[in-house]
Structure 1
Amino acid sequence: MAQSNQLTRWQRLRLRLMRSTLRGLARLPRSFVDKVLVPSLDWLLYHLFKYRRQVVEENIRLTLTDLSPAEQKTVGKRFYRHLAELMLHEARYAYGSDERVRQLFRLEQTELLDQLYEAGHRQVFALLGHIGPWELMGSSSLHLDRSRYQLHVIYKQLHDPVADQLTHEMRELHHARCIEMSQLARDILRHRDQEHDTRMHIYCLLADQSPSYEQMRYASVLFGRTTSFVTGWSHLATKLQIPLLFCDIRHDDQAKQWVGTFRLLCEHPTSQLQYQLIDDYVAQLEENIRLAPHRWLWSHKRWRFDPHDFPQMVYSPRCNHSSI
């Protein structure tokens, strides 16, 4: 992570300008953002810039095969509206007061954390996907007893040091702590060595991103497509006996707020279960996406590599010859 005192003068100026812009955006009335700014940005992304239109449409066409072409097009158009909402409301999530964020997002099934804590666990992985405003998981500390639970957001360092610094700051505004992905194992071990620390450390991971070329190891099935997944978290969980939770994200239209719900994937992961854990995560992920398909990040180049091009690939039993 780039620290502000390591930035150049121009980069520090950019950082201040970006902070001021986002804070100003956070103060705008929600009605103005929703009725004026969101439709405008939606039109720009979809019609003018055609932001990753080909990627989005291809992903949806080859994935949501149970939908008609017209229904697939509707999902794509609704995705761009959702993306515009995410981009413009991000500042409201980050720079809003604790009380406002509690109104925007609530956390359910937190008793699972209590049960794991009482069972003696002091570390847990909370897995989620790029669904809805996933950044709101960083505000989960607002719904937890912070004397008992410490939330960590796992992230990948951005190439732009200004954007990296700003994103890091925004994720920590509501009592979460950031851990860069490459430092995760080290920090888990460091937390274990702190005998005086009786808190449970919760590591929030977005586990649905496409692995890098060097990380292609395991393929499961997502929406009928043979799909590679990162395996680092399952390796750590099985080696260090860290329980796994899935966080289901949905929108409560009546309450007009997002809801995160914990579901237990495995309390005692073992090496024999390493790949089964990934399959269980994928099944939960697909179920969560199907609740509102347009709220998943379709613009991500999720299938940029063909798993069959990698001889070392291990395939899930869920894979079959009918998978794409």
Structure 2
Amino acid sequence: MQRIVYLLAYPFLWGVSRLPFPLLYLLSDGLFFLLYRVVRYRRKVVSENLSLAFPEKTDAERRVIEKNFYIHLCDVFMEMVKTMGISKEELHKRYAFTHLEVIHSLEAKGKSIMLLAPHYASWEWAFALEPFVKGEGFGVYQPLTNRYFDRWARRTRKKFGTTLITTRETSQQITRNRQEGRLAFYGMLIDQSPMLAKAQYWAPFMGVRVPMHTGAEYLCKKMDLPVIYMKVRKLKRGYYEASFKLLSENPGEVPDFQITDAFFREVEKSIREAPEYYFWTHKRWKHRNKAPREGNAGTGK
């Protein structure tokens, strides 16, 4: 069944990926109408998330954010499909980078790097970074349920120089790269909600106390990987700019959870600057009422 779904969907996706951008965004507008007006995809989740994150805003203000978010969400999906057909030259026109010296200074010291980012603006095109740094790019991801689409995702990213690795493969890949003397950078998205059973640390996110992913911090401490935050801004439709901020050059010397806290402070800044570009359909605050009492071991203040 997975193969049949893939074979049926692939020709359509291939055709969409060859559309010029004006037609691509016209199709995105149609998808927006379908998801937002007809299907009402996760409208309740988005509305609840925005109420939790922005209690000070009026209902009308939150509805504007909600609508603009769905427009952006559809754009991101279409841009993901466009990755199949976009050229490297076109991609680099649309996804620019600033403050690259943050990465270059660490690479000059022979250090591989961990790049942390949220689901904000465009994370799909972040692999455009590859030509601007010395290290080989590895994107840490959760495998897709459909193995044929999973292979497609790996193949598409690989053509731009980035190798996708699963969370289970990450430690082994970092160790292998180090043993072979290979300079690398690893990208992880860590703003989503962890499994409640695995939650070790709770802290405020947009004013609401929730469990935090700490696996990336643990990995950086274990592997001695400098940690950089990648901030992405949407300049206009189809154009983005990413910049970099060093969170810690020597993570092993930083008290536990401070790197995680620093990451989420940066995420909050981006959200407050332009909230419509955050991934509001995810149930990020679903465990908020299950937080342990303040002061318990392994919880944030």
TM-score range, shorter chain: over 0.9
Aligned residue runs from structure 1 range 66-85, under 5 A: 66-85=56-75
Aligned residue runs from structure 1 range 1-324, under 5 A: 11-12=2-3, 14-34=5-25, 36-121=26-111, 123-144=112-133, 148-195=134-181, 197=182, 200-253=183-236, 257-270=239-252, 272-306=254-288, 308-309=290-291, 314-317=298-301
Q: Which segments of 5 or more consecutive residues in structure 2 lack a partner in the other structure?
A: none
Shift of 1:11: 4.3
Taking a change above 3 Å as real, the CA distance of residues 307 and 128 of structure 1, as seen in their structure-2 partners, is farther
Alignment check: 8 A CA contact 1:105 1:259 kept: yes
Shift of 1:292: 1.2
Mapped to 1, the partners of 2:254 and 2:161 lie a distance apart of 36
Alignment check: 8 A CA contact 2:208 2:288 kept: no
Mapped to 2, the partners of 1:101 and 1:139 lie a distance apart of 7
Taking a change above 3 Å as real, the CA distance of residues 169 and 256 of structure 1, as seen in their structure-2 partners, is closer
Alignment check: 8 A CA contact 2:203 2:211 kept: yes
Shift of 1:235: 0.7
Q: Secondary structure at the match of 2:125?
A: helix
Shift of 1:217: 1.0
Alignment: residue pair count: 299
Shift of 1:310: 5.3
Taking a change above 3 Å as real, the CA distance of residues 18 and 234 of structure 1, as seen in their structure-2 partners, is same
Shift of 1:313: 6.3
Mapped to 2, the partners of 1:284 and 1:172 lie a distance apart of 29
Alignment check: 8 A CA contact 1:135 1:171 kept: no
Letter in 1 for 2:195: S
Shift of 1:219: 1.2
Letter in 2 for 1:165: R
Summarize deviations over 1:38-74 as a string: whole Å, max 9, x none.
2211111011111111100000011112322110111
Taking a change above 3 Å as real, the CA distance of residues 37 and 290 of structure 1, as seen in their structure-2 partners, is same
Shift of 1:271: 5.8
Mapped to 1, the partners of 2:196 and 2:19 lie a distance apart of 42
Mapped to 2, the partners of 1:242 and 1:66 lie a distance apart of 39
Alignment check: 8 A CA contact 1:57 1:76 kept: yes
Alignment check: 8 A CA contact 2:201 2:300 kept: yes
Mapped to 2, the partners of 1:225 and 1:110 lie a distance apart of 33
Alignment check: 8 A CA contact 2:247 2:259 kept: yes
What TM-score, normalized to structure 2? 0.92
Alignment check: 8 A CA contact 2:232 2:243 kept: yes
Mapped to 2, the partners of 1:41 and 1:248 lie a distance apart of 27
Instruction: State percent identity of aligned pairs.
Output: 25
Mapped to 2, the partners of 1:101 and 1:23 lie a distance apart of 17
